[in-house]
Structure 1
């Protein structure tokens, strides 16, 4: 069972720069909101010329991607950040490594991280990563790992590095360039600022 600071609550307040944001356990009911976050990110990527990260078409338009996100939202390690009105601002799924990445011993893997790009959601991605850190520590894991798009400007890799992750190896899924990163939990708590 995934826990937060010894609590088994499914609704957990978060600290940080924005009050009124809480992290709660995700479910299949959140799939449409998570798909909307992904679709919004894709539209933004296209607007800045980054068409290789997640493609150019909304994931919600593809049945296999809809099914994949719905299944991920139902996983035990699925969490969402929402505002006081229940609007989903971000999604985090932690668990085992994806099939295309060799697993490591004693790890918790960030399987999905997506956040709204609007000003009202500023810092939500970092806060979800700090929450993943707490989850891993609560489970007695030694490390967190994540993979991300390794192409383009490199800003996504730098974001993870700014959250305490370090690059380990690159990989490819077809023509998609990926970067693996690790955060050893002996390095202290993740920054949520």
Structure 2
């Protein structure tokens, strides 16, 4: 049963980079414990200089939003420009750059609530398109999650990673009424 009413969303800021890293670390550990290392690997984001810089950029970039439950951050959403590795949009859009939730609070609809917040942000800006990309490997469970949230899978792609296996990605779109 979802409990989205207990979830509030607030804008994030520079002081929230550590929260983003904590949520990424928790999700990475949860995935790794289930043998699902293709998405984010096994190492904590908080020990990777590239991921630390990325979190700092997201936190100071104006597109960070935090899902809160009882004054505790339980999810994060980053919106902004599309990633370089996906085909460009053919119309103005809002792009979901990051969505991650605290696995200790799974089943509360936090991810769906954050995606609905992204849709609200897009509508408030007069935009009719919301896009996201995600890990498209393994059993495509993440792709199915986004589809349940109203997105449609479009382009599949692969991101080359020097010294590592390529990362299989999936682009998804949601039209906003």
TM-score if structure 2 supplies the norm length? 0.91
Q: Which runs of 4+ in 1 moved over 4 A?
A: none
Q: Match of 1:141?
A: 127
Establish whether residue 95 from structure 1 lines up as the match of residue 86 from structure 2: no
TM-superposed deviation, 1:20: 3.9
Matches within 5 A, 1:120-135: 122-135=108-121
Which of 16, 22, 36 matches 2:8? 22
Aligned to 1:38: 24
Query: Where in structure 1 are there 5+ consecutive unaligned residues?
Result: 1-15, 187-193
Checking the alignment, whether the CA contact within 8 Å between 1:167 and 1:179 is kept in structure 2 is yes
Q: What residue in structure 1 maps to residue 168 of structure 2? A: 177
Q: 1:133 to 1:176 in 2, by over 3 A?
A: same
Mapped partners of 1:153, 1:101: distance in 2:
21
Whether 1:158 aligns to 2:149 is no
Instruction: Give the TM-score normalised by structure 1.
Output: 0.84
Task: Answer yes or no: is 1:54 the counterpart of 2:45.
Answer: no
Q: How far apart, in 1, do the equivalents of 2:121 and 2:102 lie?
A: 22
Mapped partners of 2:141, 2:6: distance in 1: 28
Deviation, structure 1 residue 22: 1.3
Q: Distance in 2 between matches of 1:113 and 1:128?
A: 8
Q: Which runs of 5+ in 2 are unaligned?
A: 161-165
Return the alpha-carbon distance in structure 2 between the equivalents of residues 18 and 163 of structure 1.
Answer: 14
Backbone CA RMSD of aligned residues: 1.4
